[in-house]
Structure 1
Amino acid sequence: MLILIIGLLVFLGIHSVLIVKPDLGRSMAARHGENTWKGAYSAIAIIGLLLVIYGYGLARQQPAAVYLPLPGLRHLTHLLMLPVFVLLFATYFPGRIKSATRHPMLWATILWALAHLLSNGNWADVLLFGGFLAWAAADLISMSWRPAKHIPTVPAGRFNDGVCIIGGLIVYALFVGGLHRWLFGVAPM
């Protein structure tokens, strides 16, 4: 469990830099060079992610229940997961979906984490999904008072929303159809 906690602190910690100190990224890039700052940031994020993956895998081997999810909540989990991949696509394909949500990746993270908390009640699950839920909510709230970070996207186009919906639903179907089981060892259905 300790490796999972350290991984979450490292991964979510580096992703919280802009929440806590919005100008830190610019000042570090100015002081050390943009490529050096981005390289260090990426290396820390990758180390954190690898620790999260490894730590979560270890923690799942000795499950300790915090709560027992109600069986009917699995249906709600699937319903909440439907827009997640659509929102992820909308992050990079600007259109009406991105305009309506303003921060589609954060909303996707919130829905993903909440959906998984409804179906999983072990300590490792609560730490992983609860940590991401808390981070995404804090980041979303901080967006109201800090400057928006530029995310490279494809040009805005009238078909972008269609790409988001169709692409997102295809990826969702792939995950439900076997990709989730292959990647994580758990069949969602």
Structure 2
Amino acid sequence: MLVLVIGLLIFLGAHSVRIFAEGWRTATIARRGEKPWKGLYTLVSLLGFALIVWGYGLARQQPVLLWQPPVMMKHLNSLFTLLAFIFLAAAYVPRNHIKARLRHPMVLGVKLWAFGHLLATAKLADLVLFGAFLLWAILSFRAARQRDRALGTVYAPGTVGGTLVAVVIGAVAWAAFAFWLHAAWIGVAPLGAR
């Protein structure tokens, strides 16, 4: 469990600089340059992610069951995860109604993904992993909305075409992950598919 916690601290710590130290981040980028900042940010993030994957794998070898979630929660998690994939796609597809309305759909997608997995899973490692991501997403969304208000950020209006592209890309990615990749990479078939 220690490796998982260290990985979460490194990964989410790097992703929390804008939440807790926006001024320091801005000053560091101005002093060092954007490319060195992005390079260091990427290396730290990859290290943290690798430790999360390794630590979660280690923790799953000796699971600590906390409760038994109802089967219905797995179905609810599938719905939340579908929406999370659509929100993730909406973060990158230009001029869609989802981003125009929600402003930060990727962070909201992380919230849904983490919350859904907390409902559907019941082991200590799950609580640590998904709970940490849920807490980060809540704080990140709040900070992003505050930055938007402070800077007067205006988002491009959405179009039907952009929205449909985001929904289709998100749904196709979700289906690939739910029916094949989740089982192949994580060893759990969320929809019973193998």
| TM-score, with structure 1 as normaliser | 0.91
1:79 Cα deviation after fit: 1.7
Could you give the per-residue CA deviations for residues 16-69 of structure 1, whole angstroms, max 9, x where no partner exists? Answer: 001001122221112222211111111111100000010001000000012221
Query: What is the deviation of 1:134?
Result: 0.3
After superposing on structure 2, the runs of 4+ consecutive aligned residues of structure 1 that deviate more than 6 Å are: none
Residue 160 of structure 1 aligns with an amino acid whose one-letter code is: G
RMSD value, Cα? 1.8
Separation (CA, whole Å) in 2 of partners of 1:97 and 1:158: 10
Q: Render the CA deviation track for 1:44-98: whole Å, top value 9, x for unaligned.
A: 1110000001000100000001222122211111121221111111001131111
Mapping 1:163-182, distance limit 5 Å: 163-182=165-184
**2:75 paired with 1:75:** yes
Alpha-carbon shift at residue 145 of structure 1 (Å): 2.1
Map 1:106-125 → 2, pairs under 5 A = 106-125=107-126
Tell me which residue corresponds to 2:91.
Answer: 91
Aligned residues: 184
Counterpart of 1:69, as a letter, is P
The aligned residue for residue 8 of structure 2 is 8
Instruction: Kindly indicate whether the alpha-carbon contact (under 8 Å) linking 2:97 and 2:159 is maintained by their aligned counterparts in 1.
Output: no
Judging by fraction of residues, say which structure has more helix.
2
SS in 2 for 1:23: helix
Q: Give the residue type in structure 1 aligned to 2:190.
A: P
Identity %: 40
Tell me if the contact between 2:63 and 2:125 (Cα under 8 Å) persists in the aligned partners.
yes
TM-score (norm 2): 0.89
5+ long unaligned stretches in structure 1: 150-155
What amino acid is aligned across from residue 29 of structure 2 in structure 1? A
